[in-house]
Amino acid sequence: MIPQYTSALLISDLHLTPSMPLTAQRFFDFCEKEAPKVEAVFILGDLFEYWVGDDAASTSPFQQEVRRALANLSTKVKTYYIHGNRDFLVGSSYLKKTGMTLLSDPSCVEISGSKYILSHGDVLCTADDGYQIFRKWTRKKWVQNLFLRLPLVWRKSIANHLRSNSHMQYQNAARTSASQNSIRMNVTLKACAAMLREQDGIRLIHGHTHLPAHHHEQLGDQVWQRWVLSDWDLDHPESVLPKANALLINGLGARFTDLTKPNQVSSISVLN
């Protein structure tokens, strides 16, 4: 039986790291203020900037603070987690300590009487062939086990190298046309349609693309709605506007909550 709740908040792509203290503090405030007002919280991946193993968290004061916030939240509301592309190595040890329940990607849930399909979203970006090959290999258990057996310092070095490569790819993408970049980095209609057919759903929620919006989409005779969650960044006002949102779903429908301005709910993207 799929999880059923009358209200929920969904967040994604916080990329928590000690170098972004304002963003982290907003997450701690979210756990204390907004989250306890609903029955369930769903974290759809990339809560962390990177994750190289549960053992690394035990040696980091910052990660210990995040763990305490999640553990405290889990005593108040049911808290779910879906792996992202940055933190797919979050393991059973960390989940047990935080009280979170791991969901597969994708997963079906029922909130306020409506069925939603939840995903991190990276698996839907099928126009990026290189990334999908990388994703396929890094999700293999034997590859993950080999990586987790490496010394912690090696794992951190590899993660930093991958992050650097990712940053360079984004810079190179910025030099291409906006349309080309949008196609490669975004989800595809074909992938969304296939996931929804497989899950027998018409409502899809995901993160990953950092392109928050509410879409009404169609492919052939198949129609659906798609909500894209925002990434969070309150630490770089010189380059981006402060951003952080959550999707609130309750008896009034589904709508975005602007968490950069506490207690403000967007008037758009309402599902009646």
130 is a domain residue:
yes
The rounded distance, in Å, linking the Cα atoms of 177 and 175 is 7
Q: Is residue 184 part of a domain?
A: yes
CATH of residue 124: 3.60.21.10
Domain that holds residue 88: 4-265
Q: Please provide the DSSP assignment of 136-157 as one string.
A: HHHT-HHHHHHHHTS-HHHHHH
How many domains does the chain fold into? 1
Tens digit of pLDDT for each residue in 158-169?
A: 888 887 665 555
pTM tops 0.75, yes or no: yes
How many C-beta atoms surround the C-beta of residue 227 within 10 A?
Answer: 22
Residue among 101, 114, 129, 91 nearest 43 (CA): 101
pLDDT, position 269:
44
Per the model's pLDDT, the better-predicted residue between 272 and 32 turns out to be 32
More confident residue, 131 or 39: 39
Q: Which residue, 127, 30, 19, is CA-closest to 77?
A: 30
271 in a structural domain: no
Contacts of 61 (CB under 8 A, 6+ apart): none
In a domain, 270, yes or no: no
Which pLDDT score is estimated for 183?
Answer: 61
Residue-level pLDDT at 37: 96
What pLDDT digit, counting tens, does each position of 66-80 carry? 999 999 999 999 999
Residues 179-195 pLDDT 10s: 444 566 789 999 999 99
Q: How far apart are CA 42 and CA 8, in angstroms?
A: 7
- Mean pLDDT of the 201-221 span: 95
pLDDT at residue 169, rounded to an integer:
53
Residue 272 lies in a domain: no
What value does the mean pLDDT of the chain take? 89
* Chain segment 56-110, per-residue pLDDT in tens: 888 889 999 999 999 999 999 999 999 999 999 999 999 999 999 999 999 999 9
| 69-107 burial: b if 16+ Cβ within 10 Å, else e | bbbbbbeebbbbbbbbbbbbbbbeebbebbebeebebbb
In 3D space, the residue among 90, 176, 80, 57 whose CA is nearest the CA of residue 128 turns out to be 176
Please give the Cα distance from 4 to 115 (Å, whole number). 9
Note whether 14 and 121 are within 8 A (CB).
Answer: no
Phi, psi of 131 (to 5 degrees): -65, -40
Q: What percent of the chain has pLDDT over 90?
A: 74
Strands 107-111 and 114-119: antiparallel
